[in-house]
Amino acid sequence: MTSTGTKNPRERYRAQVRTEIKERAWEQIATAGASALSLNAIAKQMGMSGPALYRYYAGRDELITELITDAYRSLADTLHSTATATATSDADAGAGAGLAALAHAIRAWALADPQRYFLIYGTPVPGYHAPDDTTAISSEIMAILLDACAALPSDGPATPFDRHLEEHREWAGDHPASPAALHRALSFWTRVHGVLSLELAGHFTGMGIDPAQLFAAELDDLLAR
Amino acid sequence: MTSTGTKNPRERYRAQVRTEIKERAWEQIATAGASALSLNAIAKQMGMSGPALYRYYAGRDELITELITDAYRSLADTLHSTATATATSDADAGAGAGLAALAHAIRAWALADPQRYFLIYGTPVPGYHAPDDTTAISSEIMAILLDACAALPSDGPATPFDRHLEEHREWAGDHPASPAALHRALSFWTRVHGVLSLELAGHFTGMGIDPAQLFAAELDDLLAR
DNA sequence: TCGTCTAGTTATAACTTCTAACGAACGCGT
DNA sequence: ACGCGTTCGTTAGAAGTTATAACTAGACGA
């Protein structure tokens, strides 16, 4: 902490108010969705009147952007924890234990607050451009997935997409994973998201099937490729 | 047409205005997202002043609900067309030609208007309950998928999820598909949606990979199970 | 032709985001 | 310890939004 860490009481209070604003915002989003988020309502809930909130956030967009970043950060931290936790219990389970643990961690994180998940992976606003920190966290998440995929054996011949990935591995940074591992990471991401997104949106309700079992089946199939 | 088909000019005009309202609504949604849809702006665009629009739609929710239903209808019609088209060119291609054609039809339909896709499969509004006709169209779509899946051979042993589906096949109606076919239809749905949703939301932009190739790879893997 | 039903109008209420101008309090440096 | 400046919170207000109410003008059918 060189210049301004958390010392002066002005900044302490400011940070405290900002976090309380975000807490109220998360409550509103969880119950009514992000589109129903009202800065006015938050201000009134906190006992201050309307425009006072603009001292802390320049506007709705800035608040939502920070919520998105926080959501990304939360997901990345969760996955990092499970990754290190399963790395500790090394070879007691199968090779796919790491990926399976990540999958269930993602699902639990999403089910805990579906709207938080949709804030990241839901309907995008046409004009919106994600800030750099979210893309950084996103590649951080991909790195975790790649670590787990690199621990798996890759049998079977290389697919055309594997060859495509061989020439397009910018997104993996300098991760030393095989094209098959890159492929499995992408497939993991899309398949987990596919089941999860439909489940959270309620598209399975009334169908009679158990989303958890469908999720597990997709995971098994991915691991048994 | 027993009582009121499309005869009297009053109803003709009314239907015409309603469709024009929906056209303007689609334009707004395509460019700025569903949350930015403004009834007032639509009314002014059409030359009438504000509340006049409420003669045609009781409110924002009713308009959006009808847009969702129309989107479902459009998707179902598209898939029905491709299903019959590929059924005509019977055995000239492999067994998975039907499913592959459906997958590409879905993707083309989604790419044509991403926000329309997200209106169906995007972020749900927490309180919102879909009307019965949309669930009916949804099962109509599932029936098309099941037809294509039933045409495929199902090698491999039955998975635990197959056994789960054997006891929970309400959603398939009275479709005579094997549990493996039910499984493949669900997997098709979730995997297509997984890739497509992330692609349309722009989560692959900047990664360097070609979403079309990832989509094709997922489809190939599903067909080669 | 006349009556009714409908479409459009304005006015209004209750919201929203966000800007501007003002006052008061807090805390830092002297 | 005291002033001065930064910051916070206020009210007022503009420009939007959804939606309702009351009224007018028109078209359609009998």
Q: From first to last of its 225 residues, what are the pLDDT tens digits of chain B?
A: 333 456 788 899 999 999 999 999 999 999 999 999 999 999 999 999 999 999 999 999 999 999 999 999 999 999 999 999 997 775 556 778 999 999 999 999 999 999 999 999 999 999 889 999 999 999 999 999 999 999 999 888 999 999 999 999 999 999 999 999 999 999 999 999 999 999 999 999 999 999 999 999 999 999 998
Predicted interface score ipTM higher than 0.90: yes
Same domain, A65 and A110: yes
Same domain, B142 and B164: yes
A99–chain B Cβ distance below 8 A for any pair: no
Same domain, A71 and A149: yes
Partners of A161 on chain B (C-beta within 8 Å) are 213-214, 216-217
B123–chain A Cβ distance below 8 A for any pair: yes
Residue where a domain terminates, one of B12, B30, B57: B57
Q: How far is B10 from chain A (nearest CA, A)?
A: 37
Question: To which residue do tokens 């030609």 refer?
Answer: B97
Partners of A171 on chain B (C-beta within 8 Å) are 206-209
Residue B21 CB lies within 7 Å of the nucleic strand D: no
Same domain, B43 and B75: no
Q: pLDDT per residue over A86-121, tens digit each? A: 977 755 567 789 999 999 999 999 999 999 999 999
Same domain, B137 and B189: yes
What phi and psi values does residue B81 have, to the nearest 5 degrees? Answer: -60, -50
CATH of the domain at A126: 1.10.357.10
Residue B50 CB lies within 7 Å of the nucleic strand C: yes
Domain of residue A3, residue span: 1-57
Same domain, A82 and A158: yes
Same domain, B91 and B50: no
The number of distinct structural domains making up chain B is: 2
Same domain, B25 and B116: no
CB B137 within 8 A of CB B73: yes
Rounded to whole angstroms, the Cα distance separating A215 from A220 reads: 9
Residue B60 CB lies within 7 Å of the nucleic strand D: yes
Residue A47 CB lies within 7 Å of the nucleic strand D: yes
Q: Which of B135, B77, B78, B70 lies closest to B101, judged by CA? A: B78
CB A21 within 8 A of CB A63: yes
Rounded to whole angstroms, the Cα distance separating B184 from B202 reads: 27
Whether A217 sits inside 8 A of B161 (CB atoms) is yes
A52–chain B Cβ distance below 8 A for any pair: no
Same domain, A49 and A145: no
Rounded to whole angstroms, the Cα distance separating A113 from A118 reads: 9
